[in-house]
Structures are given as structure tokens and as C-alpha cells.
Amino acid sequence: MINNIFAWLTDGAHWQGYDGIPRRLLEHLAYSFTALLIAALIAIPLGLYIGHTGRGRFLVVNAVGAARAIPSLGLLFLAFFWLGPRLSGDIAFLAPAGLVLVVLAIPPILSGAYAGVEGVDPDARDAAKGMGMRGSQVLRHVEFPCALPLIMSGVRSGMLQVIATATIAAVLGLGGLGRFLIDGLATQDFSQTASGAILVAVLALVVDLALALVQRSVVSRGLTGRYRPVETFNPDAGATPSAPALQQNA
């Protein structure tokens, strides 16, 4: 079995053309990044707003839980039945799939943004306001940077969700690496299916790694604690007195 897979993956024919690995890979990346971007553009500002003002907490907490319970496959089909008939051509399956990809990516990002802002040190917020920062400045200069670790973690979660759902969406006729899995299953060509599975798994891992590197470069080191440990200078430790028997009253 492994040999068959290896043979399939190394077969030159599978690397060219309309149905080739590079094309499918790029399609998959395109769907995933587009959906993630749209989801982030909606969810990050919304999460920041909810975290900053405290309004709509109920919405966030429950939306995330609810979204996790909805089966992505079922949602894809429902979206298809709802939108498909109203549209024609390629959009008929691209739109429902795209919609579902975005909808499923929003909750983890929303949750991350909200939790991130909520977790900002209230003293830092108070000091920022007391120093004369307006609300928007507090958000931009203090809350957003401090929320970044959790925002990034939500984005990574969302990305995984999107890549996985895009794989399944091949059932609707979408391109991407999922095509290999679905087509292989349909034709009982298990080497194709398994190869597709491996490609998707590798893609997911590589993209997650890339996002992890982005996270590392974007999040302030003061928050993650990744600085060289240095000896603390302690001006508060008094100098050792030279006359131990008699103590000066300062």
C-alpha cells in the first residue's frame, strides 16, 4: 500500500496540468487564505469591540460553542441546497462553500480577539486612560498589542478549521487538494486518496508553522517572555552598612 502511494506521489503526470498537484495545492491555499482573511476582517474588529466595550459578551461565548457543534459536512450541503439553485455556473458551488468556510472560521477568531482584549491587564488600561489616551488610542496602543497572542492563536485555529473544511468541500465540486481524496474514494483509487490525505496533512502542518512564525515575529517579546534572562539590578537592596555594631538613623 505504501509503495502504491509513493508511486502515485512521484508519478510526474500527477504534477502537471489541470488536475495536477501544484494546481490543486494553489487552489486550496487560495480558498483557505481568502476565507480566513474575510473571517478575520469580520471577527477581529468585532471581537475587539466586544472585548473593549463589554457589550455582546453573551453572543461571543455562545456563538463559539454553537459553531463547534455544527457538522461542517451537513452545513456545506445545506448551504448548497439553499444557494445553489439561485446561482448558476461555478458560483453555484463556490459561493456556498465559501460562505461555510468563512462562517466556520469566524468563531475561533472572534473568541481569540475577545479573550485577548479581556485579558489585558486592567492596571495598564487604567494607566493608559489616566495618561490621556482616548478610547481608540487605548485600543490601538495597548489593548490590541496585548491581545495579539490570543488573536494569533484564534487565527491559527481558524486556519485549521478552514483547511479541513475546504478539503471536505471537494464533495460539492470544489477544487483544491480535497479533490484527490474525494475522487479517489469515488473511483476506489486508494493510492490517490491516501496521497491526497498526506498532501493535505502536510499542507496543514506547513501553514500552521508559517503562522506560528508570523506570531513569533508580530507579538511583542515583553508578552511572551522570550528574552535573555538577565540579572536583576536591585537598587532597592540597601548597600551593606560598613558599621554593623552601630546603626545610623537615616
Partner 1 sequence: MTWLRDHFGEVLSLTVQHIYLAGVPLILGLLIALPLGWLARRYRGLYPVLIIGTGLLYTIPSLALFIMLPVLLGTHVLDRTNVLIAMTIYTVALLVRTVADGLGAVPDAVNQSATAMGYKRGRRFVSVELPLAVPVISAGLRVAAVSNVSIVSVAALIGVQQLGSLFTDGFSRAFVEPILVGVVACVLLALLFDGVILGVTFLATPWLRAGKASG
Partner 2 sequence: MIRFDAVSKHYPGGTKAVDELTFEAPAGQITVLVGPSGCGKTTSLRMINRMIEPTGGRIWIDDQDTSTMDETELRRGIGYVIQHAGLFPHRTIVANIATVPRLLGWDKCKAETRALELLERVGLPAGFAKRYPAQLSGGEQQRVGVARALAADPPVMLMDEPFSAVDPVVREQLQDEFLRLQGDLGKTIVFVTHDIDEAIKLGDRVAVLRAGGHLAQLAEPAYLLAHPVDDFVADFVGKDRGYRALSFQASPHFSLTQEQTVPLGATPAQAADAARDGWILVADASRRPLGWIEPDRITALIQPEMLARGGTVATVGGPLRNVLDAALSSPSRRGVIVDERGAVLGTIRAHEVLAEIEERARPELHDEDSQPAEEAQPAEEAPPAEAAPPAEEAPA
Q: Does 5 bind partner 1 (CB under 8 A)?
A: yes
CB of residue 4 to partner 2, shortest distance in Å: 52
By CB under 8 A, name the one of 70, 77, 129, 173 that touches partner 2: 129
Name the residue with cell 469515488. 186
Site for partner 2 in 77-96 (CB under 8 A): none
- Number of residues binding to partner 2, judged by CB under 8 A: 40
Name the residue with cell 490570543. 150
By CB under 8 A, name the one of 113, 142, 200, 219 that touches partner 1: 200
CA–CA distance, 200 with 176 (Å, rounded to integer): 9
Q: At what angle do helices 21-53 and 190-218 cross, to 10 degrees?
A: 40
Closest C-alpha to 15, from 195, 212, 174, 151: 195
By CB under 8 A, name the one of 13, 123, 188, 217 that touches partner 2: 123
Closest C-alpha to 9, from 194, 185, 178: 194
CA–CA distance, 222 with 244 (Å, rounded to integer): 41
**N- to C-terminal Cα separation, the chain:** 84
**What residue 1 binds from partner 2, partner 1, none (CB within 5 to 8 A, per partner kind)?**
partner 1
Q: Does 52 bind partner 2 (CB under 8 A)?
A: no
State the chain's maximal CA–CA distance in angstroms. Answer: 96
Site for partner 1 in 55-74 (CB under 8 A): 65-66, 68-74
**What residue 70 binds from partner 1, partner 2, none (CB within 5 to 8 A, per partner kind)?**
partner 1
**What residue 89 binds from partner 2, partner 1, none (CB within 5 to 8 A, per partner kind)?**
none
By CB under 8 A, name the one of 66, 87, 127, 202 that touches partner 2: 127
C-alpha cell read off for 15: 504534477
CA–CA distance, 125 with 139 (Å, rounded to integer): 9
- Residues lying near partner 1 in the complex (CB under 8 A) are found at 1-2, 5, 65-66, 68-75, 77-78, 80-81, 160, 163-164, 167-168, 171, 178, 181-182, 185, 190, 193-194, 196-198, 200-201, 204-205, 208
